[in-house]
Structure 1
Amino acid sequence: MPTLPPERTPPSEREPHQARELARSFGSDPERYDRTRPRYPDAMVAAIVAASPGPDVLDVGIGTGIAGRQFQAAGCRVLGVEVDERMAEYARQHGTEVEVAAFETWDPVGRTFDAVVSGQTWHWVDPVAGAAKAALALRPGGRLAVFWNGFQPSSDVAEAFSAVYRRVLPDSLAARWASGVDGYTALCSKAADGIRETGAFGGPEQWRFDWERTYSRDEWLDQLPTTGAHTRLPRAQLDEVLTGIGTAIDAIGGGFTMRYTTIVVTAARTGTT
């Protein structure tokens, strides 16, 4: 598992963690979000659990509890922190304890954990303040692990979908959706930079887990409104995107297989206190 190089990324005009109104947009339909969003590889969960000193897990940005339930199934005790009350309530109703707060201002009240994890969420957290809070919440030897699902569409799927976005939303993030795993490179670098800056962790590593999922037309269209480029679209534009993507999927046979790479940035808490 390679150690990430110690290089800093240039700051963007507005970092994702400064766009909290977008982060909160995911809670508009928590049931759909939980039903349609992809899970994480069991091998990733097992690797994080094996590298942690115990079963107590803090899930940052737990959302509806997708990753949290996977850690519970692996034998962990999970506490979630979530900024959106709607998401938090859904997770509570499905068996996970959740406290509502932005992680940077959340108070652990003296509690410590064996792992702090964050799935598809860490870019909404200030990378330095978040890593510092994670260090405060971790026992010595505890592990911070933040991860994202990056998709890698086949060339025919990428071109078919991109054509729709270029026509309907030419200046949007969605028009660049086919960047896939490469789109997470900057997020991983920022996470690693934040970990290093605290001085409380060993060198950050990057782990990768490859997997795939087959989607029907209806399954893909069901999850599309839950993704970041679509949650705040006006209804008319969203409908136009869904119609175009649906037609594109019909043209390639009514379904497709999406290859995913789950990318993890992780480091162990150093020190004895």
Structure 2
Amino acid sequence: MPTLPPTRASLSGSEPHQYRQAADSFGTDAERYNRTRPRYPDAMVDRIVVGSPGSDVLDVGCGTGIAARQFQAAGCRVLGVEPDARMADRARRLGVEVEVAAFEAWDPAGRAFDAVVAGQAWHWIDPVAAAVKAAQVLRPDGRLAAFWNVFQLPSCVAEAVAAVCRRVMPDSPFNVQAMTKPALNGYQVLFTKAADGIREAGGFSEPELWRFDWEWSYTRDTWLDQMPTQGAFTRLPSDKLAEVLEGVGVAIDSMGGSFTMRYASVAVTAARTDAA
């Protein structure tokens, strides 16, 4: 698998982890989030498990426990750390042990883990501080794996989403125009910053990028059900959100009421090379 070249990009006010209001908005409808957000490829979960020295997993920013339950199904013992009590409560109800805290401030109380994972969450944490904390709690040869589901909308749906968002939410901090471009291009900066944070923390092997491609079919209703859980829309007033969903629904109807989404699940991962 490829490695990521270092950039040593400096942090700025535009860093995702500095948008705390956006990061804290996903718990407004934790049940919908858990119901609609995509899972991760079993092949990726299995590779992380096989690449770890044991089965004790710490899930950072575990949300409602989507990834945690997949690691449990793979035979792992999982502890989640989640800053949003609403998301943590949902995860607990679904069988995941969770401690409520921001990862940077969380107290591991002497516990150690074979893998530290983060699904769809690492960009909400300072990448250096997070890697330093991961190094502290990982056993030697333990694996750090931050991963994301990157989706690519069909062009006609992407153009409809961009058009309605430009009209309804012109002041959004999210890059609406990026919706019509190759999605992986927009995520590359997140992958690179995660890798640079691991390098700066020290004590890890050279970060690698693992990619797993897959597809999922959505009906009009299932996609519109997921959209309010996405960061661009979680804080949108209900009337504005309804306008966005209406415009996107019309576009999907024009395609016959359903479409196939292309996903790439990408992990930035490295192994702990010495004792903390």
- The TM-score with structure 2 as length reference comes to 0.96
> How big is the shift at 1:16?
1.5
Residues 157, 248 of structure 2: 8 Å contact kept: no
Residues 54, 114 of structure 1: 8 Å contact kept: yes
Q: Please show how residues 34-53 of structure 1 align to structure 2 within 5 Å.
A: 34-53=34-53
Q: Which residue among 200, 220, 228 is the counterpart of 1:225?
A: 228
Residues 26, 231 of structure 2: 8 Å contact kept: yes
> How big is the shift at 1:199?
1.2
Residues 139, 272 of structure 2: 8 Å contact kept: yes
Q: Is the counterpart of residue 135 in structure 1 residue 138 in structure 2?
A: no
> How big is the shift at 1:271?
1.0
Q: Tell me the number of residue pairs that the alignment of Structure 1 and Structure 2 aligns.
A: 273
* Counterpart-to-counterpart distance in 2, 1:108 and 1:125: 17
Question: Match of 2:47, SS?
Answer: helix
Q: Please show how residues 53-92 of structure 1 align to structure 2 within 5 Å.
A: 53-92=53-92
Q: Please show how residues 156-167 of structure 1 align to structure 2 within 5 Å.
A: 156-167=156-167
* Counterpart-to-counterpart distance in 2, 1:130 and 1:164: 36
What code does the residue aligned with 1:121 have? A
* Counterpart-to-counterpart distance in 2, 1:122 and 1:141: 20
Residues 174, 230 of structure 1: 8 Å contact kept: no
Question: Match of 2:224, SS?
Answer: helix
* Counterpart-to-counterpart distance in 1, 2:135 and 2:10: 24
Structure 1, gaps ≥5 residues long: none
1:262 paired residue number: 265
Q: Which moved more, 1:160-169 or 1:224-233?
A: 160-169
Q: Please show how residues 1-273 of structure 1 align to structure 2 within 5 Å.
A: 1-172=1-172, 173=174, 175-176=176-177, 177-179=179-181, 180-272=183-275
TM-align CA RMSD: 1.3
Residues 128, 194 of structure 1: 8 Å contact kept: yes
Question: Match of 2:14, SS?
Answer: coil
Q: Which moved more, 1:148-157 or 1:224-233?
A: 148-157
Residues 203, 274 of structure 2: 8 Å contact kept: yes
Residues 116, 143 of structure 1: 8 Å contact kept: yes
Question: Match of 2:148, SS?
Answer: strand
- The TM-score with structure 1 as length reference comes to 0.97
* Counterpart-to-counterpart distance in 1, 2:10 and 2:158: 28
* Counterpart-to-counterpart distance in 2, 1:230 and 1:108: 33
* Counterpart-to-counterpart distance in 1, 2:7 and 2:226: 35
Q: Which moved more, 1:151-160 or 1:209-218?
A: 151-160
What code does the residue aligned with 2:72 have? Q
* Counterpart-to-counterpart distance in 2, 1:178 and 1:62: 29
Q: Describe the shift of the 1:24–1:262 C-alpha distance in structure 2 as closer, same or farther (beyond 3 A).
A: same
Q: Describe the shift of the 1:19–1:163 C-alpha distance in structure 2 as closer, same or farther (beyond 3 A).
A: closer
